[in-house]
């Protein structure tokens, strides 16, 4: 059974920075009223999600999922100096990751797990999508925060530094390109790429308020293994608890298809 610890913790600086960048973007793209509503909302929020595991070590070829953006180009970039903390602090900004001074081609180095892979998709000169993959638990993955609550030997934190397991970080599709299958398309490329590079497992957290995240993981056959609940007070404190999970969220919470 889980040795679960219940404690109120300070929200991390990354979450505060992400919230601030989201507010800035909301003001720019969705107008003052939506901005005001978002500013007022953080007195109390409740959210829940699922920690998923997707195995890449099967012998079957990973199917490529097409999307409705014909000239999409997905570039994998490796930034060895970047932590997930720094990646996620970009919030919902497109950010020109290909121009990052340390962006380079990824070459697998056995025994070394550090940095971020970023799958950066464009169409012509337009930013279309980005998905981050952390090659290490260091630097603040949600998995690390969840693990600190449960400390269960079956889910060791060290697995994210074993050189075979990676953590799926934040994804963003530009508003203009949403609902065209881009996320699904990029994720199929992510899985193929990781498998080709010798990784065997991807762990990721999908929150219930982002239906796309859950739908994608369910359709690709990822397994939910933990249920995660979070209450945030005044944006500064959060209270998280976790329980084991075996059922698909589509069954468990009736997310519509």
Q: Which stretch binds ligand COA (CB under 6 A): 31-39, 176-184, 222-230, 232-240?
A: 176-184
Residue 38 in contact with ligand COA, rule: CB under 6 A: no
Residue 173 in contact with ligand COA, rule: CB under 6 A: yes
Q: Which stretch binds ligand COA (CB under 6 A): 114-122, 147-155, 204-212, 224-232?
A: 204-212
215, 225, 229, 245: residue in contact with ligand COA (rule CB under 6 A): 215
Residue 184 in contact with ligand COA, rule: CB under 6 A: yes
Structure tokens at 174: 């530009």
Residue 171 in contact with ligand COA, rule: CB under 6 A: yes
Contact (CB, 8 A) for 132 and 183: no
Smaller CB separation from ligand COA, 157 or 184: 184
Residue 143 in contact with ligand COA, rule: CB under 6 A: no
Contact (CB, 8 A) for 191 and 56: yes
CA distance 85 to 46: 22
Contact (CB, 8 A) for 43 and 236: no
Residue 219 in contact with ligand COA, rule: CB under 6 A: yes
- 55 forms bridges with which residues in the sheet? 201
CB atoms under 10 Å from CB of 223, counted, come to 15
Question: How many helices and strands (H and E) does the chain possess?
Answer: 7, 9
**Contact residues: ligand COA, CB under 6 A:** 170-173, 178-184, 210-213, 215-216, 219
């Amino acid at each position: 059974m889980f040795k679960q610890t219940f404690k109120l913790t300070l929200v991390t600086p990354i979450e505060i920075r992400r919230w601030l960048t989201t507010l800035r973007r909301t003001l720019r793209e969705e107008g003052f009223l939506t901005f005001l509503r978002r500013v007022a909302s953080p007195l109390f929020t409740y959210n829940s999600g699922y920690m998923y595991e997707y195995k890449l070590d099967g012998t079957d070829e990973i199917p490529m999922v097409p999307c409705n953006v014909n000239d999409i180009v997905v570039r994998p970039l490796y930034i060895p100096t970047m932590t997930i903390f720094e990646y996620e602090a970009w919030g919902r900004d497109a950010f020109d990751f290909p121009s990052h001074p340390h962006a380079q081609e990824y070459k697998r180095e056995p025994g070394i797990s550090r940095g971020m892979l970023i799958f950066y998709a464009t169409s012509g000169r337009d930013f279309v999508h980005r998905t981050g993959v952390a090659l290490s638990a260091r630097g603040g993955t949600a998995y690390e925060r969840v693990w600190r609550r449960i400390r269960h030997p079956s889910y060791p934190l060290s697995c994210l530094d074993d050189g075979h397991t990676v953590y799926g970080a934040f994804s963003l599709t530009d508003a203009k390109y949403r609902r065209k299958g881009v996320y699904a398309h990029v994720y199929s490329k992510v899985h193929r790429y990781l498998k080709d590079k010798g990784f065997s497992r991807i762990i990721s957290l999908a929150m219930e308020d982002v239906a796309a995240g859950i739908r994608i993981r369910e359709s690709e056959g990822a397994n939910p293994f933990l249920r995660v609940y979070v209450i945030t007070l005044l944006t500064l404190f959060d209270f998280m608890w976790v329980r084991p999970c075996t059922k698909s969220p589509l069954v468990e919470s009736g997310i519509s298809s």
